[in-house]
Structure 1
Amino acid sequence: MSGKVENNVKKEDRSEINLFTFHEQQAGRLIIDPAEAKIELGEVVAAKLKLTEDGTKVLWPQPTDSPRDPQNWSTRRKNLQLFIITLAAVVPDFDSAIGIAGLFGLAKQYDTTVGAINNLTSKVGRIVCRHVDQTTGSPSNLVLVSTSRLGFPRGMYLCPQSQNICCHAVFECILCGLYVVTDLYPFHLQARKLSIWTMGFIVSPFLSPFAFGFLVARTTWRWAYGIGCLYSLIVVLLIIFFMEETIYDRTVKPIPEAPTGGLKNRIEALIGLTGAKMSKYRVSWAESILTPLNMVWRPHLLIVLIFEAMLFGFGIGINVTNVVFLGSPPPLGYGFSEFAIAGSYGTPIVSAILGELIGRYTNDWIMNVCVRRNNGVFEAESRLWACYLAIPLYICGFVVLGASFQHHLSTVALVFGWGIAELSIMINTVAVYAYCSDVFPKHQGEVSALINLARTLGGFSVAYFQIPWSLRYGAIQTFGVEAAIVTGLFLLFVPFLQVKGRYLRERYSMH
């Protein structure tokens, strides 16, 4: 019966349905099949629903008739916004990982150990902020914080990341690609587009060691930071000239529309005046600050955050410490040259791209199969089936990688272990973002910020203990225990959510 007894809209309430907010009120449960919509909502309401071009799926959120509604924008216009927000999501970790490319050069120049440099260039935290988007608007927010990264000197002694860590923190969390994706795309395309955005920030910490490792081997590490600054400048210019506001207040009656077009309106949007004027239709500062605190304790979100924190966090450790394993002489490492280390960072880049391709079609297949089996209704917990694919890959990747470091297996084993581990992280992270977005459809910004915070809290300390642990007990134990922790959390949390998820959503979700 697909849960109709509890979830069907009562006949006497059907005439009062607001189709623009209905998907938010039914958090985590969406009617996708038009035939099922007729049964649950009635012929009159179902006739008002807007469908995909082929008529097979109901669009959520329901687009308005306004051309200013981002859901009605052309595919090219939407994809341009996704492209910019993905490039912007690359910046924070791309800049942070430049220190990896210069790790041995920095240690040599300042007569210290790679371990000391490694600890100094590890992340120490991020700040959660969403309300600024709603009060000033996304374009002005991106310009403000992106530009702030250009105003701080690059290549500072021993700690290249010391240039205003607060700006770095705000920058990543404010880049709410999750919010932009859900503003632009209907539900059935969101997981696919989230996969592209997720690939951006997952691949970003590997791009700079790969690109700049060859450069630093031939010249000074200062050049790497200069080029990183230029990349930030390019992103800022793209935002200034092409980024558009995607927030559309479809839940307000009548729907307010900010003025668009013309140089004056463009400047006002970029400096935040337009967003400030529109803020009266949105949540207050107090509500915005309290919302993440009100969300984080809810069990169906909290346990997913813990799971993702560990899974992604140990992946951060791989990125930060692998350069030490690869560059250090035996018995700790492989003794690779700087050129070989730079080339090895192509492995996770290729893996992330493969993960995006696999995840794109896997998530679509899972969604379509679950909708068919559930009589045309989508339940958010079906997103978590992708985790069943990710976890075996995670175990395989981490164990092979640990064995490679401990026993100095061939480079092929090293590449496969690293690549499989990153592939699993990519698949699982997309599933987590999609699931959390589905169960909190009104709070994608807060969801994005909380997942970012969880990922950081789970991973920033790994660099401090992973290498000493491996030196004392061996890399197999280190990476094996990390994989076991993640697997244990998976077994505890994911099946439980799939069984009790509907009950938890109905009891604890925020409408």
Structure 2
Amino acid sequence: MPEHMEDAKTVKTAYYTTQSEVLVLLPQPSDDPKDPLNWSPRRKYLTLFVLCFSCFAATSGPTSFQLSYVLQAPTYHETTIALSYSVTAAVAGLFGGPLLFGPFSQIFGRSAVIFWSLVIVFFCQIWAAEMTQSPDYLPFVISRWMAGMFAALPTILTPAYIVDLFFLHQRGRAFLCLEVSLLGAVIISPTLGGFIVQTQQWPVVFWWTLAPIGLAAILVFFVLEETSFSRDQIKVLSSEPRSFIQTRIATFLPGTKVVPSPTIRTVLKSAITPFLIGTAPITILAGLYAFVAFGFTIMINIVTTIILQTPSEFGGYGFSPLQNALFSFAAWMGVIFAQVVGYFLGDRIPLWASRRKGDIWQPEYRLWNMIFPAVFGPMGFGLFGAGVQYHLHYMVLALGVFFVIFSSTMSVPICLNYVVECFLNSANEVGIIMNCYRLAFAIGLGFFVFPWEVKVGQGWTFGMAACFDLFAALLIGILVWKGKSLRKYTLRGLLKSEEGASIVIRHTENEPESAPKNSFAEFNE
């Protein structure tokens, strides 16, 4: 990615793919070296890596035991379904934590909130691993709920970093990296847990997570910086530490030394804004898609363990935890394939759509990538349901899981990216409310999915999920068609986007000789 020239006097642009096309940098960076947009690519990508690894490590905490809870049931003298409620408790924590603790980033800074959330998740994992006696069922469930409460904070705070650090033409890939780190943890962590419980006692599925969580906390402490920067006015801080140690202490110990001292009104506004954004028509439509698609993805994660590990004489596949873990590589492949497709198309298709429409940007162009999830999501749920209903070969189920995970991994960051770019000044708050939409359905599914299966059968359960997922894709179609008009029905003062900006400038004569073909180079218009 290019690093722009700091001496540009008007519009700073970067050559993109050809000598005759110039891609405008949006937003326009300032001349201040402290502006995160002016950071070197190495510094930006290191920050993104630390943030994504923090999301991965934190999320691995409340999800690491998803393939082992069947084996935990005898410890607490509870049924397998009762133990599945601990998964639901973790999801409930992931839902509620950002609503309660997200506004704290206004007081202590985003970096401090991420660091201390990792520390708390670290100790919640120790708590869960020590709950090995029969009366410990309720404390164990509470530990999963608390781990979820704090594990979600890095995920909902990272979108604001992406907006601060990256230009419009880079954000698609950055948001995909965020979502891959999140869903990667949801998939990889249980897989490793499945391998572990095959030869070890179940508490080990919690002990191993201490390594990535602890490493993430260390990386955050030594690398992460606040990226808040105002190009309109100078924010006066209570102090400006100079040395590395002073900066680390000021960033992560309680105080407001690296962020402006907030007023009570600012904090309350930060707490209320997610709900205001959540009631905007564009957020409702994008959120409902995430509500349905991600919710049913969690449903597959919940029931797959039971379906695969149920003995074959009772209608299951008789898998061991090790075989279950091997089966989950189908989900790994879905994540990897989504990363590859998103890397090549995540920003290219929206920019291509902009070129077709006169080189003028609209946030709705982000949604053009949703064609892939719209096709493969319902197909995946249908295949999984047919495989379970007719007890087909487990590879049919694996193919269904692959399609579902691929669809979910691609769609959630696209929806999040779109809504963030409609509310650029409220990226934290968008992260909070989109997290709520994404997880709300998953909380309830843990309680009614089993009665639902009894009522209509496993095949129809997932067949209906396919129909609901297809209907949700139509909501995204409405956004693509009428999103620009729907954005007008939003509370005034919240909307801010790059709509209407010229994304490409075309030059046919007097091309600067210093601009090599198929490379990025800056010049003053």
Normalising by structure 1, what TM-score?
0.85
Residues 49-88 of structure 1 mapped to structure 2, 5 A cutoff: 49-52=11-14, 54=16, 56-88=22-54
Partners in 2 of 1:357 and 1:269 — Cα distance?
A: 35
CA contact (8 A) 2:282 2:483 kept: yes
1:479 is displaced (CA, Å) by 0.6
Partners in 1 of 2:147 and 2:306 — Cα distance?
A: 28
CA contact (8 A) 1:154 1:229 kept: no
CA contact (8 A) 1:130 1:174 kept: no
Partners in 1 of 2:266 and 2:258 — Cα distance?
A: 12
Q: Which runs of 5+ in 2 are unaligned?
A: 1-7, 496-525
In structure 1, the residue matched to 2:423 is: 440
CA deviation map 1:118-137 (0-9, x unaligned)? 12331224232433223212
In structure 2, the residue matched to 1:154 is: 128
CA contact (8 A) 2:61 2:121 kept: no
Q: Are 1:193 and 2:174 an aligned pair? A: yes
Partners in 2 of 1:497 and 1:476 — Cα distance?
A: 31
User: Per the alignment, do residues 217 and 297 of structure 1 end up closer, same or farther by CA in structure 2, a change over 3 Å counting?
Assistant: same
CA contact (8 A) 1:178 1:448 kept: yes
User: Per the alignment, do residues 260 and 50 of structure 1 end up closer, same or farther by CA in structure 2, a change over 3 Å counting?
Assistant: farther
Normalising by structure 2, what TM-score?
0.83
In structure 1, the residue matched to 2:197 is: 216
User: Per the alignment, do residues 167 and 357 of structure 1 end up closer, same or farther by CA in structure 2, a change over 3 Å counting?
Assistant: same
Q: Aligned partner of 2:303: which letter?
A: T
1:269 is displaced (CA, Å) by 1.1
In structure 1, the residue matched to 2:513 is: none
Partners in 2 of 1:89 and 1:212 — Cα distance?
A: 18
Q: Are 1:364 and 2:347 an aligned pair? A: yes
Partners in 2 of 1:458 and 1:482 — Cα distance?
A: 12
In structure 2, the residue matched to 1:117 is: 83
In structure 2, the residue matched to 1:37 is: none
In structure 1, the residue matched to 2:306 is: 324
CA contact (8 A) 2:172 2:417 kept: yes
Residues 470-481 of structure 1 mapped to structure 2, 5 A cutoff: 470-481=453-464
Match of 1:465 among 444, 448, 465: 448
Determine helix, strand or coil for the equivalent of 2:361. strand
Partners in 2 of 1:170 and 1:103 — Cα distance?
A: 21
Match of 1:173 among 153, 156, 166: 153
Q: Please, what is the CA RMSD of the aligned residues?
A: 2.3
In structure 2, the residue matched to 1:24 is: none
User: Per the alignment, do residues 92 and 242 of structure 1 end up closer, same or farther by CA in structure 2, a change over 3 Å counting?
Assistant: closer
Partners in 2 of 1:112 and 1:366 — Cα distance?
A: 51
In structure 2, the residue matched to 1:378 is: 361
CA deviation map 1:387-440 (0-9, x unaligned)? 222122011100111111222211221211110111011111121011101111
CA deviation map 1:89-137 (0-9, x unaligned)? 1234322222213222202333332211112331224232433223212
Partners in 2 of 1:130 and 1:182 — Cα distance?
A: 17
In structure 1, the residue matched to 2:523 is: none
User: Per the alignment, do residues 314 and 48 of structure 1 end up closer, same or farther by CA in structure 2, a change over 3 Å counting?
Assistant: same
Q: Aligned partner of 1:52: which letter?
A: A
CA contact (8 A) 2:37 2:165 kept: yes
Q: Are 1:349 and 2:332 an aligned pair? A: yes
Q: Aligned partner of 1:169: which letter?
A: M
User: Per the alignment, do residues 262 and 281 of structure 1 end up closer, same or farther by CA in structure 2, a change over 3 Å counting?
Assistant: farther
Residues 209-248 of structure 1 mapped to structure 2, 5 A cutoff: 209-248=190-229
Identity of aligned residues (%): 23
1:453 is displaced (CA, Å) by 0.9
CA contact (8 A) 2:128 2:144 kept: no
CA contact (8 A) 1:325 1:334 kept: yes
Match of 1:426 among 398, 403, 409: 409
Which deviates more from structure 2 when the two are superposed, residues 348-357 or residues 102-111? 102-111
Partners in 2 of 1:229 and 1:404 — Cα distance?
A: 37
In structure 2, the residue matched to 1:310 is: 292
Q: Which runs of 5+ in 1 are unaligned?
A: 1-45
CA contact (8 A) 1:198 1:429 kept: yes
Determine helix, strand or coil for the equivalent of 1:56. strand
Determine helix, strand or coil for the equivalent of 1:220. coil
Partners in 2 of 1:502 and 1:390 — Cα distance?
A: 22
Match of 1:163 among 143, 158, 162: 143
Partners in 1 of 2:159 and 2:120 — Cα distance?
A: 22
CA contact (8 A) 1:173 1:448 kept: no
Q: Are 1:184 and 2:165 an aligned pair? A: yes
In structure 2, the residue matched to 1:292 is: 274
Determine helix, strand or coil for the equivalent of 1:52. strand
1:53 is displaced (CA, Å) by 5.2
1:366 is displaced (CA, Å) by 1.5
Partners in 1 of 2:150 and 2:204 — Cα distance?
A: 26
CA contact (8 A) 1:141 1:272 kept: no
CA deviation map 1:284-318 (0-9, x unaligned)? 11221221222221111122112211111111111
User: Per the alignment, do residues 353 and 164 of structure 1 end up closer, same or farther by CA in structure 2, a change over 3 Å counting?
Assistant: closer
CA contact (8 A) 1:355 1:427 kept: yes
